Structure 1
Amino acid sequence: MNQNPSLIRRVVRRAGWIIDGLRRWLSRLMFVGFVLVVVVLLRTDLAIQVPNNAALVLKLQGVLVEQSQQDPFQKAVDEALGAPVRETRVRDLLRALNQAADDLRIKTVVLDFSHFEGGELSKLVQIADALQRFKTSGKPVYAYADQYTQSAYLLAAQASEIHMHPMGQVGIEGFSTYPFYFRDLIDKIGLDVNVFRVGEFKSAVEPFIRNDMSESAREANRVWLEDLWAVYKQAVASARSVNPDAIQSYADQLAERLVQTAGDGAQLALQEKLVDALSHRDEFIGRVRRTADPDEFDGFKSIDQNAYLLAVGEQPPSHRGKPTVAILVASGAIVEGDAAPGTVSGDAFADQIRQARLDDAVKAVVVRIDSPGGSAFASEVIRRELDLTRQSGKPVVVSMGSVAASGGYWIATAADRILASPATLTGSIGVFGILPTYQDTLAKLGVHVDGVGTTALAGALRADRKLNPAVGQAIQAMVERTYQDFLLRVADARDLPVETVATLAEGRVWSGSDAVRLQLVDGFGEIDEAVTAAAELANLAGQYQTRYLEPDLTLSEYILGRMQGVSVLTRGLVAVLPPELGPIVQGWLKTAGQQAGRAQSGIYAFCLCGRPGYN
Structure 2
Amino acid sequence: MRVQYAPGRPHRPRDAMLRLPFIALANLFLLLSSLLGAPFRMLAARHRPAYVRFRLTGDPSYRQQRRPRFSLGGGSKPEPSDVTSLERFGEDLRLLAKDARVKGIVLEVEELGLPSAKREALVALLAEFRAAGKRVVAWAVMVDSDSYALMCAADEVLLAPMGRLELVGYAAEATALGEGLSRVGIRGQFVRRGDYKTAPELFTHPEVSDIQRRTVETFLDERYSVLVEAVAAGRKKTAEEVKGLIDVGPFSAQRAKAAGLVDALVSEADLPVHLGLVAAPPAADSKAPAAEEDETELEPLEMYLETVPFPPVKWKRLKRRTRLALVPVSGMIVPGKGNAGGRLATADAVVKGLRAAGRDKRSKAVLLYVNSPGGAAIASEQILEAVQRVAKKKPVLAYMDQVCASAGYMVALGAKEVWSAPHAVVGSIGVFAGKFDTSGLLKLLGIHRTVLTRGANAALLSFSRAFSEGERAALEADVEEMYQSFLGHVAKARGRTKEEIHALAEGRVYSGLRAKDVGLVDRIGGFEEACRHALSLANVTPGDFELKTYGAAERKMSLLRLLMGAAHPQTYAVCPMSWNLGGQEREVLASLADETRWGEWLRQWGRETRD
Q: Which whole-Å deviations, capped at 9, do the CAs of 1:525-568 have from their partners, x for residues lacking one?
A: 011111222122211134672313144799xx6xxxxxxxxxxx
Aligned counterpart in structure 1 of residue 229 of structure 2, from 210, 217, 234: 234
Q: Which whole-Å deviations, capped at 9, do the CAs of 1:122-166 have from their partners, x for residues lacking one?
A: 332232223323333443322222232112101211122111123
- Describe the SS at the equivalent of 1:325: strand
Contact 1:324/1:546 (<8 A) preserved: yes
Matched, 1:444 2:413: no
Note closer, same or farther for the CA distance 1:439–1:296 as it changes in structure 2 (3 Å cut).
farther
Partners of 1:358 and 1:534 lie apart in 2 by: 17
Give the residue type in structure 1 aligned to 2:298. Answer: F
Contact 1:125/1:235 (<8 A) preserved: no
The equivalent residue for 1:155 is 150
- Describe the SS at the equivalent of 2:203: helix
Aligned counterpart in structure 2 of residue 109 of structure 1, from 94, 105, 116: 105
The equivalent residue for 1:378 is 379
Give the residue type in structure 2 aligned to 1:516. Answer: K
Contact 1:431/1:605 (<8 A) preserved: no
Q: Which whole-Å deviations, capped at 9, do the CAs of 1:349-396 have from their partners, x for residues lacking one?
A: 12111111111222211122222222222222222111112222x111
Q: Which whole-Å deviations, capped at 9, do the CAs of 1:461-491 have from their partners, x for residues lacking one?
A: 3323433442333222222222211211111
1:325-340 aligned at under 5 Å gives the runs 325-337=324-336, 338-340=338-340
Matched, 1:514 2:514: yes
Contact 1:121/1:232 (<8 A) preserved: no
- Describe the SS at the equivalent of 2:398: strand
Contact 2:353/2:552 (<8 A) preserved: no
Matched, 1:270 2:257: yes
Partners of 1:463 and 1:358 lie apart in 2 by: 45
Partners of 1:78 and 1:536 lie apart in 2 by: 37
- CA RMSD of the aligned region, Å? 4.1
Q: Which whole-Å deviations, capped at 9, do the CAs of 1:328-360 have from their partners, x for residues lacking one?
A: 332222222232112322221121111111112
Give the residue type in structure 2 aligned to 1:92. Answer: S
Give the residue type in structure 2 aligned to 1:99. Answer: D
1:168-567 aligned at under 5 Å gives the runs 168-254=163-249, 265-287=252-274, 290=277, 297-302=295-300, 323-337=322-336, 338-343=338-343, 344-392=345-393, 394-450=394-450, 452-542=452-542, 545-551=545-551
Contact 1:324/1:544 (<8 A) preserved: no
- Describe the SS at the equivalent of 2:207: coil
Kindly state the Cα deviation for residue 214 of structure 1 after the two structures are TM-superposed. 0.8
> Which structure has more helix as a fraction of its residues?
1
Kindly state the Cα deviation for residue 183 of structure 1 after the two structures are TM-superposed. 1.4
Contact 2:334/2:346 (<8 A) preserved: yes
Give the residue type in structure 1 aligned to 2:339. Answer: A
The equivalent residue for 1:96 is 89
Give the residue type in structure 1 aligned to 2:368. Answer: V
- Describe the SS at the equivalent of 1:142: strand
Note closer, same or farther for the CA distance 1:530–1:423 as it changes in structure 2 (3 Å cut).
same
The equivalent residue for 1:14 is none
Identical-pair percentage:
27
Contact 2:165/2:252 (<8 A) preserved: yes
Q: Which whole-Å deviations, capped at 9, do the CAs of 1:545-602 have from their partners, x for residues lacking one?
A: 2313144799xx6xxxxxxxxxxxxxxxxxxxxxxxxxxxxxxx89788639789973
Contact 1:177/1:610 (<8 A) preserved: yes
Q: Which whole-Å deviations, capped at 9, do the CAs of 1:80-102 have from their partners, x for residues lacking one?
A: 7x9x9xxx9x9714432333421
Partners of 1:345 and 1:360 lie apart in 2 by: 25
Partners of 1:181 and 1:189 lie apart in 2 by: 15
TM-score under structure 1 length normalisation: 0.73
TM-score under structure 2 length normalisation: 0.73
The equivalent residue for 1:142 is 137
Kindly state the Cα deviation for residue 195 of structure 1 after the two structures are TM-superposed. 1.0
Partners of 1:535 and 1:241 lie apart in 2 by: 40
Partners of 2:581 and 2:492 lie apart in 1 by: 28
Give the residue type in structure 2 aligned to 1:102. Answer: L
The equivalent residue for 1:610 is 580
Note closer, same or farther for the CA distance 1:245–1:405 as it changes in structure 2 (3 Å cut).
farther
Aligned counterpart in structure 2 of residue 79 of structure 1, from 76, 79, 86: 76
Note closer, same or farther for the CA distance 1:74–1:486 as it changes in structure 2 (3 Å cut).
farther
Kindly state the Cα deviation for residue 459 of structure 1 after the two structures are TM-superposed. 4.3
Partners of 1:416 and 1:521 lie apart in 2 by: 11
268-277 or 491-500, larger mean C-alpha shift: 268-277
Contact 2:321/2:546 (<8 A) preserved: no
Contact 1:397/1:534 (<8 A) preserved: yes
Contact 1:57/1:304 (<8 A) preserved: no
The equivalent residue for 2:24 is none
- Describe the SS at the equivalent of 1:360: coil
Contact 1:438/1:465 (<8 A) preserved: yes
Contact 2:429/2:508 (<8 A) preserved: yes
Note closer, same or farther for the CA distance 1:269–1:302 as it changes in structure 2 (3 Å cut).
same
- Describe the SS at the equivalent of 2:449: coil
Note closer, same or farther for the CA distance 1:377–1:236 as it changes in structure 2 (3 Å cut).
farther
In structure 2, list runs of 5 or more residues that go unmatched: 1-32, 34-39, 279-292, 587-611
Kindly state the Cα deviation for residue 506 of structure 1 after the two structures are TM-superposed. 1.2
Q: Which whole-Å deviations, capped at 9, do the CAs of 1:374-420 have from their partners, x for residues lacking one?
A: 2222222222111112222x111122112212222112211222222
The equivalent residue for 1:15 is none
Partners of 1:386 and 1:140 lie apart in 2 by: 45
Partners of 1:224 and 1:552 lie apart in 2 by: 30
Partners of 2:462 and 2:335 lie apart in 1 by: 21
Matched, 1:165 2:134: no
Matched, 1:132 2:132: no
Contact 1:111/1:141 (<8 A) preserved: yes
Contact 2:354/2:550 (<8 A) preserved: no
Note closer, same or farther for the CA distance 1:369–1:107 as it changes in structure 2 (3 Å cut).
farther
Partners of 2:483 and 2:447 lie apart in 1 by: 38
Note closer, same or farther for the CA distance 1:473–1:595 as it changes in structure 2 (3 Å cut).
same
Give the residue type in structure 2 aligned to 1:369. Answer: V
Partners of 1:282 and 1:447 lie apart in 2 by: 66
Note closer, same or farther for the CA distance 1:271–1:56 as it changes in structure 2 (3 Å cut).
same
Partners of 2:553 and 2:580 lie apart in 1 by: 33
Kindly state the Cα deviation for residue 441 of structure 1 after the two structures are TM-superposed. 0.7
Give the residue type in structure 2 aligned to 1:547. Answer: L
Partners of 2:403 and 2:60 lie apart in 1 by: 13
Aligned counterpart in structure 2 of residue 595 of structure 1, from 551, 562, 577: 562
Note closer, same or farther for the CA distance 1:360–1:202 as it changes in structure 2 (3 Å cut).
same
